[in-house]
Structure 1
Amino acid sequence: MTNRRFTEPDELVAAMAAAAARVGPAVSLAVRHEAMVLQALIQAGASGRPGPNVITGRYRASWQTQVVPRRHGATATVGTFAPQGRRLELGFYGADSLGRVYAQPPFPHVAPALLQLQPGFAARIATAAMGAL
Protein backbone atom coordinates (compact mmCIF):
# COMPACT_ATOMS: atom_id res chain seq x y z
CA MET A 1 0.00 0.00 0.00
CA THR A 2 1.35 3.40 -0.91
CA ASN A 3 0.67 6.86 0.50
CA ARG A 4 0.17 8.42 -2.88
CA ARG A 5 -1.88 11.62 -3.13
CA PHE A 6 -4.41 11.88 -5.90
CA THR A 7 -5.11 15.22 -7.52
CA GLU A 8 -7.93 14.10 -9.80
CA PRO A 9 -10.97 12.08 -8.79
CA ASP A 10 -10.52 9.85 -11.85
CA GLU A 11 -7.05 8.83 -10.63
CA LEU A 12 -8.48 7.76 -7.28
CA VAL A 13 -11.28 5.82 -8.95
CA ALA A 14 -8.82 4.03 -11.24
CA ALA A 15 -6.48 3.20 -8.33
CA MET A 16 -9.36 1.84 -6.24
CA ALA A 17 -10.64 -0.28 -9.14
CA ALA A 18 -7.16 -1.70 -9.71
CA ALA A 19 -6.80 -2.50 -6.00
CA ALA A 20 -10.22 -4.16 -5.90
CA ALA A 21 -9.24 -6.31 -8.88
CA ARG A 22 -6.17 -7.57 -6.98
CA VAL A 23 -7.88 -8.25 -3.66
CA GLY A 24 -10.23 -11.01 -4.91
CA PRO A 25 -7.52 -13.30 -6.32
CA ALA A 26 -5.28 -12.72 -3.27
CA VAL A 27 -8.06 -13.61 -0.84
CA SER A 28 -9.07 -16.57 -3.01
CA LEU A 29 -5.52 -17.92 -2.86
CA ALA A 30 -5.42 -17.46 0.93
CA VAL A 31 -8.77 -19.22 1.38
CA ARG A 32 -7.56 -22.10 -0.82
CA HIS A 33 -4.41 -22.42 1.30
CA GLU A 34 -6.36 -22.37 4.59
CA ALA A 35 -8.80 -25.01 3.26
CA MET A 36 -5.93 -27.29 2.25
CA VAL A 37 -4.36 -26.85 5.69
CA LEU A 38 -7.71 -27.74 7.29
CA GLN A 39 -7.98 -30.85 5.14
CA ALA A 40 -4.47 -31.91 6.14
CA LEU A 41 -5.24 -31.35 9.84
CA ILE A 42 -8.45 -33.40 9.58
CA GLN A 43 -6.64 -36.21 7.79
CA ALA A 44 -3.89 -36.17 10.41
CA GLY A 45 -6.53 -36.35 13.15
CA ALA A 46 -8.17 -39.29 11.37
CA SER A 47 -4.93 -41.23 11.57
CA GLY A 48 -5.29 -42.92 14.93
CA ARG A 49 -6.18 -42.04 18.49
CA PRO A 50 -7.66 -39.82 19.77
CA GLY A 51 -9.31 -39.82 16.32
CA PRO A 52 -10.45 -42.92 14.46
CA ASN A 53 -8.01 -45.75 13.85
CA VAL A 54 -6.76 -46.33 10.34
CA ILE A 55 -7.67 -49.70 8.91
CA THR A 56 -7.50 -49.24 5.13
CA GLY A 57 -6.85 -45.49 4.79
CA ARG A 58 -9.89 -45.06 2.55
CA TYR A 59 -11.74 -42.87 5.05
CA ARG A 60 -8.78 -40.54 5.50
CA ALA A 61 -8.34 -40.34 1.72
CA SER A 62 -12.04 -39.55 1.24
CA TRP A 63 -11.62 -36.00 2.56
CA GLN A 64 -11.76 -33.40 -0.20
CA THR A 65 -11.48 -29.66 -0.58
CA GLN A 66 -13.52 -27.65 -3.04
CA VAL A 67 -12.82 -23.94 -3.55
CA VAL A 68 -15.17 -21.72 -5.54
CA PRO A 69 -13.71 -18.34 -6.52
CA ARG A 70 -15.98 -15.37 -5.89
CA ARG A 71 -15.71 -11.78 -7.04
CA HIS A 72 -13.88 -10.59 -3.93
CA GLY A 73 -12.60 -13.86 -2.47
CA ALA A 74 -13.64 -17.50 -2.40
CA THR A 75 -15.79 -20.06 -0.65
CA ALA A 76 -14.18 -23.29 0.50
CA THR A 77 -15.83 -26.56 1.50
CA VAL A 78 -13.86 -29.29 3.21
CA GLY A 79 -15.70 -32.56 3.68
CA THR A 80 -16.23 -36.21 2.98
CA PHE A 81 -19.00 -38.27 1.45
CA ALA A 82 -17.91 -41.31 3.47
CA PRO A 83 -20.98 -42.61 5.31
CA GLN A 84 -19.08 -43.17 8.54
CA GLY A 85 -17.82 -39.58 8.81
CA ARG A 86 -20.58 -38.24 11.04
CA ARG A 87 -20.54 -41.30 13.31
CA LEU A 88 -16.78 -41.20 13.71
CA GLU A 89 -16.80 -37.50 14.63
CA LEU A 90 -19.87 -37.46 16.90
CA GLY A 91 -20.27 -41.09 17.97
CA PHE A 92 -23.42 -43.14 17.64
CA TYR A 93 -25.54 -44.79 20.29
CA GLY A 94 -28.67 -46.73 19.44
CA ALA A 95 -30.13 -48.75 16.60
CA ASP A 96 -29.54 -48.00 12.94
CA SER A 97 -32.10 -48.40 10.15
CA LEU A 98 -31.30 -52.12 9.91
CA GLY A 99 -31.90 -52.69 13.63
CA ARG A 100 -28.24 -53.11 14.54
CA VAL A 101 -27.42 -51.62 17.96
CA TYR A 102 -24.27 -49.56 18.45
CA ALA A 103 -22.45 -47.93 21.32
CA GLN A 104 -19.73 -46.17 19.34
CA PRO A 105 -17.92 -43.37 21.18
CA PRO A 106 -16.93 -40.24 19.28
CA PHE A 107 -13.45 -39.98 17.77
CA PRO A 108 -13.26 -36.25 17.04
CA HIS A 109 -10.93 -35.20 14.26
CA VAL A 110 -12.82 -32.35 12.54
CA ALA A 111 -13.56 -30.15 15.58
CA PRO A 112 -9.95 -30.28 16.85
CA ALA A 113 -8.69 -29.34 13.37
CA LEU A 114 -11.08 -26.37 13.22
CA LEU A 115 -10.03 -25.24 16.70
CA GLN A 116 -6.38 -25.42 15.67
CA LEU A 117 -6.91 -23.44 12.45
CA GLN A 118 -9.39 -20.85 13.71
CA PRO A 119 -7.34 -18.50 15.93
CA GLY A 120 -5.37 -16.85 13.15
CA PHE A 121 -7.72 -17.47 10.22
CA ALA A 122 -9.25 -13.99 9.94
CA ALA A 123 -5.87 -12.33 10.39
CA ARG A 124 -4.29 -14.46 7.65
CA ILE A 125 -7.12 -13.62 5.22
CA ALA A 126 -6.89 -9.91 6.09
CA THR A 127 -3.13 -10.00 5.59
CA ALA A 128 -3.62 -11.49 2.13
CA ALA A 129 -6.15 -8.78 1.25
CA MET A 130 -3.95 -5.96 2.53
CA GLY A 131 -0.94 -7.41 0.75
CA ALA A 132 -2.81 -7.12 -2.56
CA LEU A 133 -3.28 -3.39 -2.05
Structure 2
Amino acid sequence: MDLDDLADRLERAADRVGPEIDRTVQQQGRRLRALIQGRASGRPGPNVITGAYRGSWKGEPFGVPDGGGVEVGTRKPQGRRLEYGFMNMYDSIGRFYRQPPFPHVGPSVNELTDDWPDPFKAACDRIFGGA
Protein backbone atom coordinates (compact mmCIF):
# COMPACT_ATOMS: atom_id res chain seq x y z
CA MET A 1 0.00 0.00 0.00
CA ASP A 2 1.28 3.43 -0.91
CA LEU A 3 1.07 5.59 2.24
CA ASP A 4 1.21 8.76 0.16
CA ASP A 5 -2.21 7.84 -1.26
CA LEU A 6 -3.73 6.76 2.10
CA ALA A 7 -5.38 10.08 2.95
CA ASP A 8 -7.08 10.27 -0.45
CA ARG A 9 -8.26 6.66 -0.19
CA LEU A 10 -9.70 7.27 3.28
CA GLU A 11 -11.43 10.43 2.04
CA ARG A 12 -13.06 8.51 -0.81
CA ALA A 13 -14.09 5.72 1.57
CA ALA A 14 -15.63 8.26 3.99
CA ASP A 15 -17.82 9.59 1.19
CA ARG A 16 -19.23 6.07 0.67
CA VAL A 17 -20.07 5.27 4.32
CA GLY A 18 -23.48 6.98 4.50
CA PRO A 19 -24.87 5.72 1.19
CA GLU A 20 -23.65 2.15 1.74
CA ILE A 21 -25.01 1.93 5.29
CA ASP A 22 -28.33 3.41 4.16
CA ARG A 23 -28.54 0.95 1.28
CA THR A 24 -27.79 -1.98 3.58
CA VAL A 25 -30.30 -0.90 6.23
CA GLN A 26 -33.04 -0.44 3.60
CA GLN A 27 -32.23 -3.87 2.17
CA GLN A 28 -32.49 -5.45 5.63
CA GLY A 29 -35.78 -3.63 6.23
CA ARG A 30 -37.21 -5.09 3.02
CA ARG A 31 -35.98 -8.51 4.07
CA LEU A 32 -37.59 -8.18 7.52
CA ARG A 33 -40.89 -7.11 5.94
CA ALA A 34 -40.80 -10.13 3.61
CA LEU A 35 -40.04 -12.49 6.50
CA ILE A 36 -42.94 -11.11 8.55
CA GLN A 37 -45.33 -11.30 5.60
CA GLY A 38 -44.23 -14.87 4.93
CA ARG A 39 -44.89 -15.88 8.52
CA ALA A 40 -48.25 -14.06 8.47
CA SER A 41 -49.37 -16.45 5.73
CA GLY A 42 -50.66 -19.36 7.81
CA ARG A 43 -49.74 -21.51 10.76
CA PRO A 44 -47.86 -21.27 13.01
CA GLY A 45 -48.51 -17.58 12.28
CA PRO A 46 -51.92 -16.05 11.58
CA ASN A 47 -54.06 -17.45 8.78
CA VAL A 48 -54.75 -15.36 5.69
CA ILE A 49 -58.38 -14.44 5.23
CA THR A 50 -58.32 -11.40 2.93
CA GLY A 51 -54.60 -10.67 2.73
CA ALA A 52 -55.18 -7.11 3.99
CA TYR A 53 -53.24 -7.66 7.21
CA ARG A 54 -50.28 -9.26 5.47
CA GLY A 55 -50.26 -6.47 2.88
CA SER A 56 -50.41 -3.79 5.57
CA TRP A 57 -46.80 -4.33 6.62
CA LYS A 58 -44.68 -1.44 5.38
CA GLY A 59 -41.10 -0.28 5.65
CA GLU A 60 -40.74 3.45 6.25
CA PRO A 61 -37.20 4.74 5.63
CA PHE A 62 -35.82 7.66 7.60
CA GLY A 63 -32.53 9.48 7.46
CA VAL A 64 -29.86 9.54 10.12
CA PRO A 65 -26.44 11.20 9.97
CA ASP A 66 -24.06 9.08 7.91
CA GLY A 67 -26.55 6.33 7.19
CA GLY A 68 -30.21 5.56 7.27
CA GLY A 69 -32.91 3.79 9.16
CA VAL A 70 -36.10 1.93 8.43
CA GLU A 71 -39.15 1.29 10.57
CA VAL A 72 -41.03 -1.88 9.69
CA GLY A 73 -44.55 -2.17 11.01
CA THR A 74 -48.29 -2.22 10.48
CA ARG A 75 -51.02 0.17 11.51
CA LYS A 76 -53.60 -2.60 11.64
CA PRO A 77 -55.06 -2.95 15.15
CA GLN A 78 -54.94 -6.74 15.11
CA GLY A 79 -51.15 -6.83 14.78
CA ARG A 80 -50.41 -6.87 18.50
CA ARG A 81 -53.25 -9.27 19.25
CA LEU A 82 -52.12 -11.72 16.57
CA GLU A 83 -48.49 -11.64 17.73
CA TYR A 84 -49.12 -11.94 21.48
CA GLY A 85 -52.59 -13.45 21.70
CA PHE A 86 -55.70 -12.19 23.41
CA MET A 87 -56.53 -14.85 25.98
CA ASN A 88 -59.66 -14.67 28.10
CA MET A 89 -60.14 -10.95 27.58
CA TYR A 90 -62.83 -8.56 26.46
CA ASP A 91 -62.15 -6.07 23.71
CA SER A 92 -63.19 -2.41 23.80
CA ILE A 93 -66.75 -3.18 22.66
CA GLY A 94 -67.31 -6.07 25.04
CA ARG A 95 -66.57 -9.10 22.87
CA PHE A 96 -64.90 -12.00 24.69
CA TYR A 97 -61.80 -13.51 23.07
CA ARG A 98 -59.82 -16.64 23.68
CA GLN A 99 -57.25 -16.16 20.91
CA PRO A 100 -53.83 -17.78 21.26
CA PRO A 101 -50.72 -15.99 20.02
CA PHE A 102 -49.58 -16.52 16.43
CA PRO A 103 -46.00 -15.19 16.51
CA HIS A 104 -44.79 -13.91 13.19
CA VAL A 105 -42.82 -10.75 14.04
CA GLY A 106 -40.56 -12.10 16.81
CA PRO A 107 -39.40 -15.15 14.85
CA SER A 108 -38.72 -12.95 11.81
CA VAL A 109 -36.63 -10.51 13.86
CA ASN A 110 -34.72 -13.42 15.40
CA GLU A 111 -33.96 -14.91 11.99
CA LEU A 112 -32.76 -11.57 10.65
CA THR A 113 -30.68 -10.91 13.77
CA ASP A 114 -28.76 -14.15 13.29
CA ASP A 115 -27.67 -13.01 9.82
CA TRP A 116 -27.31 -9.29 10.63
CA PRO A 117 -23.48 -8.96 10.60
CA ASP A 118 -22.95 -10.39 7.11
CA PRO A 119 -24.64 -7.62 5.08
CA PHE A 120 -22.77 -4.97 7.05
CA LYS A 121 -19.46 -6.75 6.57
CA ALA A 122 -20.22 -6.74 2.84
CA ALA A 123 -20.99 -3.01 3.05
CA CYS A 124 -17.61 -2.41 4.70
CA ASP A 125 -15.96 -4.38 1.92
CA ARG A 126 -17.71 -2.16 -0.65
CA ILE A 127 -16.73 0.97 1.26
CA PHE A 128 -13.09 0.13 1.77
CA GLY A 129 -12.53 -2.28 -1.08
CA GLY A 130 -13.02 0.38 -3.71
CA ALA A 131 -10.87 2.94 -1.93
Calculate the TM-score normalised by the size of structure 2: 0.88
- Matched residues in 1 for 2:112 and 2:37: separation? 14
1:21 paired residue number: 15
Question: What's the offset of the Cα at 1:40?
Answer: 0.4
**1:33 aligned residue:** 27
Percent identity at matched positions? 44
Cα deviation for residue 96 of structure 1 reads 1.6
* One of 74, 84, 91 as aligned partner of 1:96: 91
Are residue 114 (structure 1) and residue 109 (structure 2) matched? yes
1:86 to 71, 80, 83: 80
Q: Which amino acid aligns with 2:63?
A: P
**2:78 is aligned with 1:55:** no
Give how far 1:101 is off. 1.4
The secondary structure found in structure 1 opposite 2:30 is helix
Match of 2:4 in 1: 6
TM-score where L is the length of structure 1: 0.87
Q: 1:69 aligns with which of 63, 87, 99?
A: 63
Which amino acid in the other structure matches residue 17 of structure 2? V
Which ranges of structure 1 fall in alignment gaps of 5 or more residues? none
d(CA) in 1 for partners of 2:29, 2:117: 13
Amino acid at match of 1:33: Q
**Deviation of the 1:70 alpha carbon:** 2.6
Segment of structure 1 superposing worse, 111-120 or 38-47: 111-120
The number of aligned residues is: 127
